[in-house]
Structure 1
Amino acid sequence: MEQTLIHKNLKLKTIEEGSISSPMGFKAGGLHCGLRRKALDLGWIYSEVPAITAGVYTTNLFQAAPLTVTKESIAVEHKIQAILVNSGNANACTGEEGMKNALEMRDHFSLSLGIPQHYVAVTSTGVIGQQLPIDKIHNGIKEIDVTNSQEGHFEQAILTTDTTVKHLAVSLEIDGKKVVIGGAAKGSGMIHPNMATMLGFVTTDAAIAPDALQTALKEITNQSFNMITVDGDTSTNDMVLILANGLAENYELSPAHPQWNVFISALKMVCEELAKKIARDGEGATKLIEVEVTGALEKETAEVISKTIVGSSLVKTAIFGTDANWGRIICAVGYSGKMIDPLKVTVKIGPITVVENGLPQDFSEELAKQYLQNEHINIMVDLQEGDESAIAWGCDLTYDYVRINASYRT
């Protein structure tokens, strides 16, 4: 079932229970291979034909072995046909043996599918510094049947401390053809992306030029996944991959295509929604915080200030405690490193103006507290200096965040 959605003047259709396997020619699934006690821990995505692929990756200097292997695979033809993902073990900081295991993970999956090794991407998520039990991965690969999708299993298999799966799909029309974009992601802690999120996967049956796809993903990532933060930590395993297999048979998309902006808007919408799902599912979180900064002279200024506010531990704890402590918001604006005029700044918490032109305003603490009990909190900051704006997403900081991370390995 599809429902019509108007997103920033773009008419899209959301697909009920839409997922990574919603676009034509894609299958996905997951199973338990023993890396985790009981949960699904080995997921896969498969395209009937090799798909044009683009990726963005963590800027953490300690990059996990699977990222290196995946980059090498994509570099050969800019095409991937299958992705294998394990949870429970990050295969990061594991040296030569870790690289060997990542290569074996790729090569065994390609052999089982009968496709070239460079048509397989691999990624891992979980505990850092432990060697991957590769024999369990090998046994799991033997059980994978890429001819059938197992709805929801892939999204379950890639989770670690997440409390919920994160997926969606939308459809639109390009060149008179139905085009579908599907997405899935995982992420709950160690979230402060720079070039990617924890793990994000996007599929589409659109035909698109390789260079155009890479440029689009990089730009959209900067406006979506890179605008979320949970705890200020950038993971060793962050990665976003997008696969486009062209089975919709539209004319090849590029910036010269008359409907390029339509496709880009739809892709951005999918990435934004996945990013918000990650932010809302921050470890121990009870609220999604959305910070919009307007009136900036430069877009970077709006981006940095919005992300500084949503990343402030004091702002996050105030939101958790339903305390309209606007001083923490102003403080974050001030230490963001961006030069602005403090006497022009206006701040709203939801519909309530708490600061105007740099000065505090009388407001009802009772109404503010009532608003802060919502699950979706909006903070708006108007710098009143220009026309640029940005939105960042995060979550509140709760007692459970400490509890979860204090015993992550045990």
Structure 2
Amino acid sequence: MATDVVVPTLGESITEATLGQWLKKPGEAVKVDEPIASLETDKVAVEVPSPVAGVIGELVVNEGDTVNVGAVIARIEAGAAASTSATPAVEDRTAVGKAEAAAPAEPASAPVEESGDALTLSPSVRRAVLEYGVDPSKIRGTGKDGRVTKDDVIAAAKSQPKTAAPAAAPAAAAPVASAAGERKEERVKMTRLRQTVAKRLKEAQNTAAMLTTFNDVDMTAVIEARNKYKDLFEKKHGVRLGFMGFFVKAAVMALKDVPAVNASIEGDEIVYRDYVDVSVAVSAPNGLVVPVIRDAQNLSVSGIEKTIGDFGKRAKEGKLSMEDMKGGTFTISNGGVFGSLMSTPIINPPQSGVLGLHRIEDRPVVRDGQVVVRPMMYLALSYDHRLIDGREAVTFLVALKNAIEDPTRLLIDL
């Protein structure tokens, strides 16, 4: 008897998704609630669990197909899991015995078994594997159920010993020689998330009167405070003290002073809010996602850091929900973690402002008539000029700058 696997409810107003990846193949055993497929919605990736224990039967749709909520995507033959899973167990024990008896011959077959795992890599991970030239079978995955993520591939590439390069060179030389002058292209279909991001960002450019104002901030005081208290902070709160806690807290204070930056336009009305829901960009296996720190005005620096840490962990595990992404009145995007010196971020409608953070860089500045070196960061505020005037944008950035350069202001709300 076969059991249908259907597309689960994905969230309010979301009626369809894209089947991004099959996590199980026909004939493979599956347990109850074990993920068998990954769906890509407009905002997050959602895993489809197995409703019963059994063996994967027919896969009704292909990777990349668009599916509606409630549609059948696969069928599971129930009741066959025990017999199916028992046989490999016997074979595994037999294989172990053979391996012990014929140790010299076994290593040659090991890569064949591991290479099958590469078939379950997501498209973005496959591209990263090709780009960085690493062996995915030798990477320990940190994603959900031990799956390899793009971050794992990048980390593995960085940790590769330099002495390994010459050994790999001869193998790579042959294809290069045989394909001299050949130019290759690869076409990869955009994920639903990337399509949605592209649509919304272009919509923002077409709708809002966007303008970006810059300032810079001396990070000396925040760096000193962080270095002084980071160990005690982690011991007490169980989370690392980063810079985002300071910036979110400072942004909340600046938004109270300049409420227009936290407002939005709806039709011919301006909506002002007495709360601040901050959207923060975090890295996930399928790209950047933007969960929301709700009621940030009520949180301490430790509460903000705990929330961001939880978002980062769940994003890597693919456990962020649609509810985590909804809303948001203001966005903070930290391009500095990737080395960005300066940028003009695009607002996320219906929000009216986005703060861009960048890398910290030692630069010469004048203090008390003397040229000194300080750790400086450029700040960028992109805003909807239909609602926010230049004076308000500059006032916001100056208030933020003052709070970061003198963190005591964060304690006394000044």
Name the structure where strand makes up a greater proportion of residues.
1
TM-score under structure 1 normalisation?
Answer: 0.21
Q: Which has the larger radius of gyration?
A: 2
Name the structure where helix makes up a greater proportion of residues.
2
